[in-house]
Amino acid sequence: MSINIESHQNEKRIFKPAKEFSRKARIGSMAQYQAMYDESIQRPDKFWAREAADLTWNTKWLKVLEWNPPFARWFVGGKLNISENCLDRHLQGPRRNKAAIIWEGEPGEKRTLTYQQLHREVCRFANVLKRQKLRKGDRVIIYMPMIPEAAIAMLACARIGLTHSVVFGGFSADSIRDRIADCGAVAVITADGGYRRGSIVPLKKNVDDALQGGTSTVKRVVVFRRTGQDIHIEEGRDVWWHREMEYVDAQCPPVPLDSEHPLFILYTSGSTGKPKGILHTTAGYLLGAYITCKYVFDLRDEDVYWCTADVGWVTGHSYVVYGPLAMGATTLMYEGAPNSPDNGRFWKIIEDYAVTILYTAPTAIRAFIKWGDEWPKKYDLSSLRLLGTVGEPINPEAWMWFHTVIGGGRCPIVDTWWQTETGGHMITPLPGATPTTPGTATRPFFGVDAAVVDDDGNEVPPNVGGKLVIRRPWPSMLRSIWGDKARYKKTYWSEVAGCYFAGDGAVRDKQGNFWIIGRIDDVLNVAGHRLGTAEVESALVSHEAVAEAAVVGRPDELKGQAVVCFVTVKQGVAATKELAAALKKHVRSAIGPVATPDDIRFAEALPKTRSGKIMRRLLKEIAGGQTVTGDTTTLEDFSILAKLGASPDE
């Protein structure tokens, strides 16, 4: 494993939380953090039982943790309902009339749903789902734009024990079809379309294409009218959301569910061609989302909190919907792109709603830097008190810009490291306590036993790179890969004995701060989105012209990594510019726009070892424009190297 550990060693700037911030924060000093962290590690049952008491339970648990490695059950014997925790329990006091969701559509519409109103909509929609004969344990695909109805659909499923699987609106029909088949979904909740950068994403059309052939397990499609464009309605299968809502009333008691009841499945890329269905269950997941909102965002009743992630990603699950609503907070949702109608949209939203907490991605921050300071400078951002980032390592330049230009130098930044699999933040500063330095996610959150180890599982000394592992279970951890326990065990718990291996490399410095280096498996991080190289490769070879393909990442100023594809074509096929364009389009329609290759490079052959393994390290170096270094003695055919440089795009 080779990782670059130099970047952090030059970074010496330390930013301590302002006294004023610390004084008001739930955790106001490192001493307090350390004491609570120590308790969470030494007496986890006591720690988690106390935090879990913040939630509303129908039946209290008998045992905090049952651990049969690598299978965990948390709060065994307990029963609760997430939608009750996110809604009903806030209706008793003044939060009843507080904004739960503030929403803005890309074209500019504004809607606010109070807790009372959101509760009513969720109950009604849960009744719609019941009327459609959906039953506890059924899987439901949600393929929606960023509109309140996406959250309503999720909460309605949770209310009656349906397991949802949200598919990001940027994924293609093929991706929807694969996910439906993998989880055996019986229904799809979608919209006619959604707005993105002024144009309409044809969501319903994609669902139609995914269901074509009629062999799908899906019996029902519920369609929300968002854009009003013409769509196909399949009689006997498709129903309109607004029509169905006319038949139901607003009484729908939440169903008490077992702590380990499957709440959702979320598909994410791994090192094989097939995305994995990450399974999260009820109580532990909710507690993870809740407790991190409480301590990492230090969420308050007065906050206007904005996480810019789409609900199609885990960040949208934990930090747009479940975490903030469980806290009784106000969560802002914006439907569209940051540059629609102009580059100032985010800053205008912050000014208009007096947003206090902004949680976004480094890739977005780098785009903002490129667009120029004049955009944020036009708006009043003085309401902001806390900033957060997630999705990839943040480069110090982006961190400093976020700190000074957006945060006005006064807002702490929480650089939160976590994953779809972890459910919630794992390594992160606490804003009132942790001194931060650009580029480090700092310390483990409560209950997280993180370490940097070598291939044998031994902790490496400070400032030496290794694998980032978690050495004990935590409440919001994934429980399995849907339908594939063996793969769960193999993927996450076999690489380093007894540990959860996250796929990331890291370095821990002398102060105990974690510096995440990035993925060390065959997974790319493109604009904060995870993309398996094997997934793109399998899309490429499904094209009739392609014989073989190898996909690697190239460092990219904006996206973090760009997708570079080395392709050999079948005999008799000409490697033309047109073919390169067709292949880009092919991958885009197989996976979705997030996977669009940046570069297609035709090669006569791919560099392989004598045993036939593609030498990705070489390809990475070539893609990055470096001269090939290091050991090439195992390379089967040296002449290949010289031939790999050219790209028809250049």
User: Which residues would be at the binding site for ligand WT7 (CB under 6 A)?
Assistant: 268, 313-315, 390-393, 415-420, 441, 502-504, 516, 518-519, 525, 530
Minimum Å distance from CB 414 to ligand WT7? 9
* Nearby residues of 304 by Cβ (< 8 Å), 6 or more positions away: 102, 330, 332, 353, 354, 355, 356, 357, 383
Residue type at position 247: Y
Residue 321 and residue 155 in contact, taking contact as beta carbons nearer than 8 Å: yes
Minimum Å distance from CB 260 to ligand WT7? 22
Minimum Å distance from CB 518 to ligand WT7? 6
Residue 374 class from Cβ within 10 Å (0-12 exposed, 13-18 middle, 19+ buried)?
exposed
Greatest distance between any 2 Cα atoms in the chain: 74
Give the residue closest to ligand WT7 by C-beta. Answer: 420
Residue type at position 206: N
CA distance 159 to 182: 23
- 216 or 360: whose CB is closer to ligand WT7? 360
Minimum Å distance from CB 476 to ligand WT7? 12
Minimum Å distance from CB 480 to ligand WT7? 16
| Of 264, 188, 164, residue with least CA distance to 478 | 264
Minimum Å distance from CB 33 to ligand WT7? 18
- 516 or 540: whose CB is closer to ligand WT7? 516
- 97 or 494: whose CB is closer to ligand WT7? 494
**Which residues in 37-154 belong to E strands, given as ranges?**
63-68, 71-76, 79-80, 99-104, 110-114, 139-143
**Cis peptide leading into 254, omega within 30 of 0?**
no
Minimum Å distance from CB 444 to ligand WT7? 13
Minimum Å distance from CB 269 to ligand WT7? 8
- 259 or 428: whose CB is closer to ligand WT7? 428
- 74 or 418: whose CB is closer to ligand WT7? 418
- 190 or 269: whose CB is closer to ligand WT7? 269
- 252 or 411: whose CB is closer to ligand WT7? 411
- 277 or 391: whose CB is closer to ligand WT7? 391
Residue 301 class from Cβ within 10 Å (0-12 exposed, 13-18 middle, 19+ buried)?
exposed
| Conformational region of residue 409, where left means phi above 0, alpha means psi within -120 to 50, and beta covers everything else | left
CA distance 166 to 592: 15
Q: How far is CA 336 from the centre of its chain?
A: 17
Residue 137 class from Cβ within 10 Å (0-12 exposed, 13-18 middle, 19+ buried)?
exposed
